[in-house]
Amino acid sequence: MIIRVTDQNGNTATIDNKGQVNGAVKIEGSNPLAAHLDRMLNHRLQLTFAGQVEQIEDRFLLEQDGLYYLYKASDVYLKEHFIAVECPLFGYEVEILKE
């Protein structure tokens, strides 16, 4: 999926989850928007507290060697959480360029 995000200042960034590397989406564009999106999507992926896992829907999780990670690079996460919940909090406009 390729997504274009525009902030209130007109800065744009493109997110490409098909070009991901080790679960990190590829982000290109204007700073500080691109840097902020990178922090939102590519950091704090490992869930460190047992209570965190219970509060998150299974379809957003990835289990690897007994550790749980929030799989933010998935189409489901991007559509149902990032676009629907996080982007409106920051006033970002989102356009899906390719599904």
pTM, 2 dp = 0.85
Sort 84 into a burial class: Cβ within 10 Å, 0-12 / 13-18 / 19+: exposed
The conformational region for residue 31 under phi > 0 = left, psi -120 to 50 = alpha, else beta, is beta
- Separation in Å, CA 79 to CA 62, 76, 82, 95: 17, 5, 6, 11
Tell me: the pLDDT tens digits for 14-72?
999 998 887 789 999 999 999 999 999 998 777 777 677 888 888 888 888 888 888 88
